[in-house]
Amino acid sequence: MDLYKLGISEAKKLLDKKEVSAQELLDSIYKRIDTVEDRVKAFITLPKEKAYAMAEASRQAIDAGKPSSLSGIPIAIKDNMCTKGIRTTCSSKILSNFIPPYESTVTSKLGAQGYILIGKTNLDEFAMGSSTENSGFFTTKNPWDLERIPGGSSGGSAAAVAADECIAALGSDTGGSIRQPASLCGVVGLKPTYGRVSRFGLVAFASSLDQIGTITKNVKDSAILMNIISGKDPFDSTSAPVAVPDFAKNLGQDIKGLKIGIPKEYFIRGMDKEIEKSARDAVKKLESLGAIPVEISLPHTEYAVATYYVLATSEASSNLARYDGVKYGFRAEGKDLMDMYMNTRAQGFGAEVKRRIMLGTFTLSSGYYDAYYKKGQQARTLIKQDFETAFNQVDVIATPTSPTAAFKAGEKSSDPLQMYLSDIFTISVNLAGIPGISIPCGFTSNNLPIGLQIIGKHFDEETILKVSYAYEQSTEWHKRKPNL
């Protein structure tokens, strides 16, 4: 048996029955990494000594008859979440040697349940990008076609899950950074409601948009992880004091009579025909399971990309001001303090990060704030109201996750606007603060994965998981694996 192919629930059964040890599972994962990682390049850091120590702790807990819900399960963590004593780089030169003195809340919660930290995954620098080409270290490859990008910014996590280099992973999603790479890599990616999961220890990009979520091999595993990482956190004032349900409880229930909104703005002229066909076929499958499709309108969708890039860059400009070469991280030489500041930021940040800092600083500057940032916030309110109106008519909304399948590395890197449009179907969800999940729904003629996005009401992850699970169990798309 190839243990590295297992999902969380499958591996947990074998571990708890002592048919497989935590070390054997970890051995299998690291052997898989040794086999494919030089081609996929999903990981920045592989803390093997720490991982085997965690595996031994899991073995002892299982042998004592006191296993936790993740005892022995190897999980990858996107490298913008702080891990105490293990470097956290955000794929940036400016943090290339940063060792956090504290643990993020999500990894603390995983640790309390006995997970094994398999490694820290690559991303677009400071999570700014849609292809992982903006990493300050290297570009991750899509396991389905090594000449193509895995999506971003959580491209390393999505590629690691798709390539079976871990059992599951965590990512972060600011404008689609979990769902888009999940779609392009043929795995399941869930962005929870803003405030459902603590952001404490997540290195900030855009604080009102960032949200930690899951990347898994199937929907059930996503529900399992959500049960662990969700909840109010006293260290994060934006985490919501909302009760955490058992997200796996309703999996398997039928979806008969459930209304699924189909927004006409997401099925537009000129979109990739194979993407459109797969998404519409997925809706037909849901209809055959008893769901009721309802055409809806989200009229302010056309303003989402512009709104996002005004607000996100503004927040990025503010958040990244802390990297000045004084407190921590990379420091360049300079003849005086100002020269040191300028050299540090010039050498420490990559081109895309600099571009977004400049855009954000401009939109927040005197004389332009009302014209750009204030207008962006007003447009955001209208986009949020569109969803509120739609959810008065339907239970969930179904759309394609990405307008295209994975494109070739370098294909869009010279055209930032085309790259920004990669997130056109996911950005509105972040602006509205609602949950969304991407699940595999087909393949192109080039054997590249296609994702279906299911969007839900605030704090209604249960319903999107139930719908996603019903679709997943009635299809075979999630069972297909890349030939590495």
28, 130, 131, 153: the catalytic one is 153
H helix intervals, 41-154: 48-63, 105-112
CA distance 204 to 150: 22
Which residue in the list 12, 41, 78, 457 is annotated as catalytic? 78
Q: How far is CA 92 from the centre of its chain?
A: 18
User: What is the secondary structure of 82-101 as a DSSP string?
Assistant: -BTTB---TT-GGGTT---S
Q: Quickly count: other Cβ atoms within 10 Å of residue 398's Cβ.
A: 25
Question: Catalytic one among 21, 92, 177, 222?
Answer: 177
Distance CA 434, CA 456 (A): 6
Q: What is the Cα–Cα distance from 150 to 344, expressed in whole angstroms?
A: 30
CB 201 within 8 A of CB 239: no
Active site (annotated) includes residue 177: yes
Q: What tokens does 27 get?
A: 């051995």
Residues 393/142, Cβ–Cβ less than 8 Å: no
Contacting residues for 64 by C-beta, under 8 A, at least 6 apart: none
Residues 329 and 94: their CA atoms lie apart, in Å, by: 6
| DSSP type of residue 372 | I
Supply 304's token pair: 């989402």
Give the 3-state secondary structure of residue 454.
strand
**E strands, 174-327, in order:** 188-191, 211-216, 259-263, 292-296
Please tell me the distance from the alpha carbon of residue 313 to that of residue 205, in angstroms, as a whole number. 8
Please name the helix (run of DSSP H) or strand (run of DSSP E) that holds residue 32, with its range, or none: helix 22-40
- CA 331 to chain CA mean position, Å: 30
Could you list the active site residues?
78, 153, 177
